[in-house]
Structure 1
Amino acid sequence: MMPDAWTAPTPDALSSMSAEPLLTREYDADPALVYERLRSRYGPVAPVDLLGVPVWLVLGYSEVLQVLQDKSGAWTKHLDNWRAKTEGRIPPDWPVLPAFEVDSSVFRDGEALRRLRNAWTAALAPFQERTHPQAQMLENAVRKYADDLISVMAEGGSGAGWADLSAQYARPLPLMVANRLLGFESARGDDVLMDAWRMLDAGPDAAAASDRLFAAMTDLAMAKMSNPGDDIPSYMLAAVSDLTLDELTREILMVPGLVADFTGTLICNTIVEVITNPDVRASLSQGIIEETVNRVALINPPMANLTFRFPTVDVRMGRFTIAAGDPVMVSVAAAHGDPLFGGAMNRNALRSTRAHLAWGAGPHHCLGQRLATRITAIAVSRLFERLGRMRLALPVDQLPWRPSPLMRSLRSLPVQYEVVQAYTPPADTQARPAAEPEPSAPPAPTAAGEAPISALWRFLRGLRRG
Structure 2
Amino acid sequence: MSLEPLLTRAYDADPALVHERLRGRYGPVAPLDLLGVPVWFVLGYEEVLNVLQNKGGLWSKRVDRWRASAEGRIPADWPLLPVFQINNSAFSEGAAQRRFRAAWTQALAPFQDQSQPQAQLLERAIEQYADDLIGVLAEGGSTGFADLAAQYARPLPLMVANRMLGFTAERGEEVVMDIWRLVDAGPDAAAAFERLYAAMTELAATVRERPGDDLASYMMAANPDFTLDELARELLMLPGLLDFTASLVCNVVVEVVSNPDVRASLSVGAIDETVNRVALLNPPMANLTFRFPRADVKMGNYTIAAGDAVMLSVAGAHADPRFSGALDRQAIRSTRAHLAWGAGPHSCLGQRLAVQIATTAVRRLFARLSKVKLALPADQLPWRPSPFMRALRSLPVQYEFADSYVPAVGRGADGGVPAAHPAPADGAGQPASRSGLWGFLRGLRRGR
TM-score bracket, shorter-length normalisation: over 0.9
Residue-by-residue CA offset, 1:214-254 (whole Å, 9 max, x unaligned): 22211111111121111111111111121111000001122
**8 Å contact 1:176–1:193 — kept in the other structure?**
no
Match of 2:15 in 1: 31
Helix, strand or coil: the match of 2:25? Answer: helix
Query: What do you get for the CA RMSD once the two structures are aligned?
Result: 2.2
Helix, strand or coil: the match of 1:463? Answer: helix
1:252 paired with 2:240, answer no
Task: Return the offset for 1:179.
Answer: 1.0
1:282 paired with 2:264, answer yes
Aligned pairs (5 A) from 1:7-22:
16=1, 18-22=2-6
Task: Return the offset for 1:202.
Answer: 5.8
Match of 1:70 in 2: 54
Match of 2:39 in 1: 55
Helix, strand or coil: the match of 1:20? Answer: coil
**8 Å contact 1:163–1:415 — kept in the other structure?**
yes
Change beyond 3 A, Cα 1:389–1:80: same
Aligned pairs (5 A) from 1:187-226:
188-189=171-172, 191-193=174-176, 195-196=178-179, 207-226=190-209
Aligned pairs (5 A) from 1:169-184:
169-184=152-167
Segment of structure 1 superposing worse, 194-203 or 306-315? 194-203
**8 Å contact 1:56–1:329 — kept in the other structure?**
yes
Helix, strand or coil: the match of 1:316? Answer: strand
Q: Matches of 1:428 and 1:75 in 2, distance apart? A: 48
Q: Matches of 2:259 and 2:423 in 1, distance apart? A: 42
**8 Å contact 1:148–1:442 — kept in the other structure?**
no
1:335 paired with 2:317, answer yes
**8 Å contact 1:436–1:454 — kept in the other structure?**
no
User: Aligned partner of 2:196: which letter?
Assistant: L
Segment of structure 1 superposing worse, 226-235 or 353-362? 226-235
- Of the candidates 68, 72, 76, which is equivalent to residue 88 of structure 1? 72
Q: Matches of 1:326 and 1:201 in 2, distance apart? A: 23
Match of 2:109 in 1: 125
Change beyond 3 A, Cα 1:52–1:187: closer
User: Aligned partner of 1:342: which letter?
Assistant: S
Task: Return the offset for 1:53.
Answer: 0.9
Q: Matches of 2:429 and 2:358 in 1, distance apart? A: 25
Change beyond 3 A, Cα 1:202–1:50: closer
Match of 1:234 in 2: 217
TM norm structure 1: 0.90
Match of 1:161 in 2: 144
Segment of structure 1 superposing worse, 357-366 or 424-433? 424-433
Match of 2:385 in 1: 403
1:149 paired with 2:149, answer no
User: Aligned partner of 2:164: which letter?
Assistant: L
Change beyond 3 A, Cα 1:314–1:205: closer
Change beyond 3 A, Cα 1:453–1:108: farther
Q: Matches of 1:302 and 1:230 in 2, distance apart? A: 30
How many aligned residue pairs are there? 441
Residue-by-residue CA offset, 1:338-357 (whole Å, 9 max, x unaligned): 11111021011000000000
5+ long unaligned stretches in structure 1 = 1-15, 445-451
1:114 paired with 2:98, answer yes
Change beyond 3 A, Cα 1:245–1:340: same
5+ long unaligned stretches in structure 2 = none
Q: Matches of 1:324 and 1:205 in 2, distance apart? A: 32
